[in-house]
Amino acid sequence: LVRQPRRRKALRRDDARLLRVARQSHRTTEQRPALLTLGTTTNNAMQDPEHQLQCACVRWFRYAHADLSPLLFAVPNGGRRDHITGARLKAEGVVAGVADLLLLVPSQQHHALCIEMKTAKGRQSPAQKEWQQHAETHGYRYEVVRDFDTFERVVSEHLNNK
């Protein structure tokens, strides 16, 4: 058996850099390049700005709100799948249009926060708009986030209204 080399030191160095940047929340997105690149490792990920944004936002949240970290999670609804996998997921309860991230922390006005990640030019699908309507009708906050600053603001507003 060949042992795979560990990447712990590099990860720790990146995490320390991310933590420093996250603590300086007064900086603009242009001054936070580490947040936009950490957490992406594959060539496909580097070509997907929505993936990069979501990774950066989740990593910031995990450091800025470590106590709430388990309550923010992704819903892996996207991606291309074959017909058999799609049918199995549908039978298991996968619903089209569900938000990318869910933060299961209530505020004074909402049961939880649902976040749909989009690029600057990205648009919601009809299924996403329909799911947003259902979520908002039943007391959930739903936000479309297109950049890191908006994510940080939306999460902070939601958590400050506990």
The sheet with strand 113-117 has its strands ordered as 72-74, 101-103, 113-117, 141-145
Q: Which of 94, 151, 85 is nearest to 118 (CA)?
A: 151
Mean pLDDT rounded to a whole number for the chain: 82
| pLDDT value of residue 156 | 97
| pLDDT value of residue 70 | 97
Tokens of 105: 């922390």
Please write the tens of the pLDDT for every residue from 116-140.
999 999 999 999 999 999 999 999 9
